[in-house]
Amino acid sequence: MNTPASTPVIRTEKLVKCYGRTSALDGLDLEVHPGEVFGYLGPNGAGKTTTIRLLLDLIRPTSGQVRVLGQDPRAGGPKLRRRIGYLAGDFAIDGRQPVREALTYLGNLRGGVPARRIRELAERLDLDLTRPIRSLSKGNRQKVGLVQAFMHTPELLILDEPTSGLDPLVQQEFLAMVREAKAAGQTVFMSSHVLSEVQHAADRVGIIRAGRLVTVERVEALRSFRKVEIHFAEPVPADAFTGLPHVSQVQVDGTRLRCRLDGHADALVKAASRFTVVNLRVEEPDLEELFFAYYNGEEASRAA
């Protein structure tokens, strides 16, 4: 059963979850579209894992609505969950059985997974299928978690801190698996505080703070400003660049100018042309800078 292209794969409306007097989610409105990779960002305690547990009916909302693949997670039951690949942030697996046996068992719970599929994923992640589960390191247990999430080619992948404990080479292979899932039409909802992995994988990003969404944007749209550094042949006065349209955070250190550019560069280029330019560098911000820019902006707005 596939979800119609017009139906959000994940949809929450005014979603609230309270633990006693503590509010973990406060009116969350969220939509994830079919076939996209959605990055869900926030520090520990922001509400990421609570959101995921509500999507999977592992906990129940205090109020509000949740729809996953067009269904109420509670009403959908096991049939709905077979259409989902889930990796918990605290993924734990134990036992004396070999990895292959454990993955085969989990695959059978989902209707059966070809042994070749399990073997291919294990090879990509450098996971030894013959080792007993109990002998695995944290990183190798995380690989088991990734294999069990991806192996039945689910319509929706929900991954909570998926690269925890993985070495950089395996992280890159994981990102390749995410891109392949997207190309195959699967939807990926990926929570993380490792901003670089989301930056390279996601179509859109939601930033959550204290149970509320700060923003939801396409990754390209978030990069609305650029960092500019210009080196001149001689020292330049700061007031030649202060107050220019779309230019802010001007810093002049002798022959070097640093500033932030939000919009057209015309005024900055014309001002710089009055002096001898030796070198010019323009950089897009990475997602980490944007993340903290949004957090700091939210903090400032709350204090105002």
Domain boundary among 186, 221, 256: 221
Q: Are residues 117 and 248 in the same domain?
A: no
Beta bridge partners of 16: 26, 63
Q: Are residues 190 and 251 in the same domain?
A: no
Q: Are residues 228 and 216 in the same domain?
A: no
Rounded to whole angstroms, the Cα distance separating 229 from 255 reads 11
Q: Are residues 153 and 233 in the same domain?
A: no
Q: Are residues 82 and 125 in the same domain?
A: yes
Domain boundary among 199, 221, 243: 221
- Calculate ∠ Cα 224-226-229, nearest 5°: 170
Rounded to whole angstroms, the Cα distance separating 218 from 221 reads 5
Q: Is there a domain that residue 299 lies in?
A: no
Given this model, what pLDDT does residue 44 score?
79
Q: Is there a domain that residue 1 lies in?
A: no
Q: Is there a domain that residue 260 lies in?
A: yes
- Nearest Cα residue to 197 out of 175, 215, 221: 175
Q: Is there a domain that residue 71 lies in?
A: yes
Q: Is there a domain that residue 231 lies in?
A: yes
Q: Are residues 204 and 247 in the same domain?
A: no
Q: Are residues 213 and 144 in the same domain?
A: yes
Q: Are residues 49 and 124 in the same domain?
A: yes
Q: Is there a domain that residue 297 lies in?
A: no
Q: Is there a domain that residue 291 lies in?
A: no
Q: Are residues 213 and 242 in the same domain?
A: no
Q: What is the CATH number of the domain that holds 115?
A: 3.40.50.300
Does residue 106 contact residue 150 with C-beta atoms inside 8 Å? Answer: no
Say how many domains are in the chain.
Answer: 2
- Domain holding 178, by residue range, is 10-221
Q: Tens of pLDDT along the chain (304 residues)?
A: 566 667 899 999 999 999 998 899 999 999 999 999 999 988 778 899 999 999 999 999 999 999 999 999 999 988 999 999 999 988 888 788 999 999 999 999 888 999 999 999 999 999 999 999 999 999 999 999 999 999 999 999 999 999 888 898 999 999 999 999 999 999 999 998 766 677 788 999 998 888 988 888 887 766 667 889 999 999 999 999 999 999 999 999 999 999 999 888 999 999 999 999 999 999 876 656 666 666 665 543 443 4
What does the buried/exposed string (b/e) look like for 203-214 if buried means 16 or more CB atoms within 10 Å of the residue's CB? Answer: bbbbbbbbbbbb
Q: Which two tokens stand for residue 106?
A: 């989990």
| 3-state SS class at 220 | helix
Q: Are residues 144 and 234 in the same domain?
A: no
Domain boundary among 174, 195, 221: 221
Q: Are residues 22 and 61 in the same domain?
A: yes
pTM: 0.78
Q: Are residues 29 and 164 in the same domain?
A: yes
Q: What is the CATH number of the domain that holds 259?
A: 3.30.70
Q: Is there a domain that residue 298 lies in?
A: no
